[in-house]
Structure 1
Amino acid sequence: MDQWNLLSNLSHCYDEYSGLSIGEHFMRQQISLPIKMRFKSTPVIEFIKILLNETQRLYKNNRDFLSLSTDDRSILLHTTIKHIGSLSSNFIYHKIQLFSYPSYYDAVGIVATPPAIAATKRIADRLDFDIIVMKLLLSILCFSTNQYTVYSNSRSVNLSNIKQILHIQSRYTELLWQYLVYKYNFQGAVKCFSNLIRCLFAVNDTIVKTEEVQWLTDKFDLLVQKTEQTLTIND
């Protein structure tokens, strides 16, 4: 019973369907336009930024995250938010079938590099998960302590309570596994879990490829600042 309560709480931490409703509204707007006017770079980039703003919910509404020290929360925000933002927003694109429109890639190609576009297409092929699986995966990523393969000038900082964070990781991962077995049986769970890992590799590749996309980097920096400010105010 405790685990199903945890599942319910994590599911409500980040109301993915609010992002989905935003995405569906965006698609209705675009499809109502003449074909040559659809998916221009300005509205597409604005849509991406709006979806990225939604990622704050996963941190701000998670009791376990709020229980961490201010320093540990800050470290995790800085090291995970790009992966959270990339995965959650691309999942919405998949759900609203945005990847099916070549003009979307044309629009993003104006403000991103060719390697970034290629990496995005690889993610698009690895997002066929149900909404609960994605929410649990996002919750796990919030507490990820891995140092991803993105090189920066930032100094590495140690977490003050790594045992607490690893315990949260373990609880969430066990919950994800039990949900997969419950829904897909053991063999299906193994296959789905393997696909999740492949998806994370694709997301990480995208993060590496988009490091030079300045508007996106600036957006993530601003998102970290705003989330930290909100958490500090609510303490």
Structure 2
Amino acid sequence: SNTTLPTLSLLSDDISCLSQPDWVLLSNVVHAFDTFSPVSEVQFIIEFLIKNSVDCQFILQQSQNIVNIIFQSIQSCISSTADFRIMTTDEQCSLVQRNMHGIWAFYSMVICHQSHMFDDWERKNIMTPLYGFDNVEYVKSITIRLDSDATLVKLLLMVLSFSSNCFAVHEDHNIKRDSLLMGTYRLFGSQNVYAEMMWKYMVYRYGYFESAKRFCELIKIMLDEIKLASTINDNNKIHHALVDKISEETERSLIIDHNKNIPLWGKTKT
């Protein structure tokens, strides 16, 4: 296609339907994801493993370490948002229980793709001991369909993070203690703001028809990833135990320090 896409800018004479507050919020979202991005850390582990002779057990340990790093990254990013901070601690824990499994699965795919995890068989083999050859190959096939617009992917992750539910497996035996059970509507305000901003951004960059195609493909990718993650959650005991442990530690951290060490939008004062 010879279609020229409009450039993304914050100039005052932009013709987009994004308002100035929209641009500020979009900039904050991008900054938060960039600040807490684990790509360099994951790449360091990958390079170390492919350049050194290590046994399968050590590779398995490092693959679990990568899982933990990615999980902590997305949680830090979400915790840095104003929408998350206005929630009570119980509501924050409920949101983690509802969505972090699904969000983590999608975000992991994105980070592994950005870290060149699927570029060759040596890199792919790093995650094989934990997830198996077929699952790794399937995730690689999904990443091929991933939108090349990193900003769009970040906005989708933010929309999904404040969804009322973003996973296909429910294991909470204390559902009556879910602080958002009777107040799911409280999430809609945050979700709708990000969803509207995402659509405005897409229309600005690509026009209505192309935006609709990209949006549909992103949703299809998300559904495919959730389906795979649910299957892994049911059948992979090591992964299940690892994610449960990380989730428990995350909730405990929320209760203890209430995100005090995470700056708003990842911005530190200078």
Structures share a fold, TM > 0.5? Answer: yes
TM-score bucket of the superposed structures, by smaller chain: 0.7 to 0.9
Give the match for residue 245 of structure 2. Answer: 222
Distance 2:174 2:254 in 1: 23
For 1:142 and 1:111, the matched residues in 2 are separated by: 25
Amino acid at match of 1:187: F
Aligned to 2:254: 231
Q: Which runs of 5+ in 2 are unaligned?
A: 1-19, 260-270
Indicate the RMSD between aligned Cα atoms, in angstroms. Answer: 2.9
Offset of residue 153 of structure 1: 6.0
Bigger Rg over Cα: 2
Q: 1:151 to 1:223 in 2, by over 3 A?
A: closer
Q: TM-score, normalised by structure 2?
A: 0.74
For 1:187, the equivalent position in structure 2 comes to 209
Conserved 8 A contact 1:24-1:96: yes
| Counterparts in 2 of 1:54 and 1:92: CA distance versus 1, 3 Å | same
Paired with 1:105 and 1:215, the residues of 2 have a C-alpha distance of 18
Q: TM-score, normalised by structure 1?
A: 0.84
Could you give the per-residue CA deviations for residues 167-206 of structure 1, whole angstroms, max 9, x where no partner exists?
A: 1111100111111112222222112111110111121112
Query: 1:11: which partner in 2?
Result: 30
For 1:106 and 1:128, locate their aligned partners in 2 and report how far apart those are by CA, in whole Å.
Answer: 25
Residue identity matched to 1:173: A
Structure 1, residues 54-89: CA drift from partner, whole Å, max 9, x if none? 122122201101112333221110111112222122
CA contact (8 A) 1:150 1:207 kept: no
- Segment drifting more, 17-26 vs 109-118: 109-118
Whether contact under 8 Å (2:74, 2:107) holds in the other structure is: yes
Of Structure 1 and Structure 2, the greater helix share is in 1
What is the number of residues matched between the two proteins? 234
1:26 Cα deviation (Å)? 3.0
**1:66 match:** 85
Per the alignment, residue 46 of structure 1 pairs with 65
For 1:77, the aligned partner's letter is: V
Kindly state the Cα deviation for residue 165 of structure 1 after the two structures are TM-superposed: 0.8
| Structure 1 residue 119 displacement after superposition | 4.4
Partner of 1:57: 76
Residue of structure 2 equivalent to 1:149: 168
| SS of residue paired to 1:190 | helix
Instruction: Give 3-state SS (helix, strand or coil) of 2:38's partner.
Output: helix
Change (3 A) 1:142 1:68: same
Which amino acid counterpart does residue 162 of structure 1 have in structure 2? Answer: T
Q: Does the 8 Å CA contact 2:68/2:246 hold for their aligned counterparts?
A: no
Give percent identity, aligned residues only: 24
Is 55-64 or 144-153 further displaced after alignment? 144-153
Gaps of 5+ in 1: none
The answer on 1:26 being equivalent to 2:49 is no
- Contact persistence 1:99–1:124 (CA under 8 A): no
Aligned to 1:132: 151
| Structure 2 match to 1:166 | 188
